[in-house]
Amino acid sequence: MSIKKINIITFGCKLNQAESEFIGEKLEHINFDVSYDKKDSNSGYVLINSCTVTSEAERKIKQLIRGIKRKNKNKKVIVVGCYSHTNVEALKNAGADLILGNLEKKYIDKYIDKTGIFVDKIYWNKLEEKVFIPSKPYSSYSRYFLPIEEGCLEFCSYCRIIFARGNKIRSVDKEDIFKKVNEIYKEGIKEIVFTGINLSYFGYSTDYNLKKLIYDLNEKYNNEEIRFRISSLYPDFIDEEIIRILNESPIFEKHIHLSLQHVSDNILRNMGRKYTEKYLYNLFDMIYSINSSFSVSADLIVGFPGESEKDFQKLISFLNIYNFSRVHAFRYSNRPNTKASRMKNQIPGNIKKERMKELQKHINISTNRYLNELKGKNTKVLIEKVNKNESFGYDEYYIYHKIEKNLINNAFYNVKVNNIENTGVISYVL
Look at residue 141 and tell me whether its pLDDT is greater than 90.
Answer: no
> Quick one: 61 and 107 in the same domain?
yes
Range of the domain at 102: 4-121
Taking residues 130-159, report their average pLDDT: 86
Overall average pLDDT of the 352-372 stretch: 97
Is there a single domain that holds both residue 388 and residue 368? Answer: no
Q: 384-414, pLDDT tens digit by residue?
A: 999 989 999 999 999 999 999 999 999 999 9
Same domain, 364 and 389: no
Q: Report the Cα–Cα distance between both ends of the chain, in Å, rounded.
A: 53
Q: Residue 136 falls within a domain, yes or no? A: no
Q: Is residue 129 part of a domain?
A: no
328, 252: one domain: yes
Q: Are residues 173 and 303 in the same domain?
A: yes
189 with 323, same domain: the answer is: yes
Judged on CB neighbours under 10 Å (0-12, 13-18, 19+), 219 is exposed
- 9 and 148 both lie in a single domain: no
Looking at the structure, tell me whether residues 244 and 276 fall in a common domain: yes
CA distance 15 to 197: 7
Please tell me whether residues 148 and 175 are part of one structural domain. Answer: yes
- % residues pLDDT > 70 (the chain): 98
Give the residue-averaged pLDDT of 136-140. Answer: 66
pLDDT of residue 41: 73
The number of domains in the chain is 3
Whether 263 and 327 share a structural domain: yes
Q: Which residues have a Cβ under 8 Å from the Cβ of 33 and sit 6 or more positions away?
A: 3, 4, 5, 6, 43
Residues 322 and 392 in one domain: no
User: By three-state DSSP, how is residue 49 classified?
Assistant: strand
Bridge partners (DSSP) of residue 228 are 192, 252
Per-residue model confidence as pLDDT tens digits over 203-243: 999 999 999 999 999 999 999 999 999 999 999 999 999 99
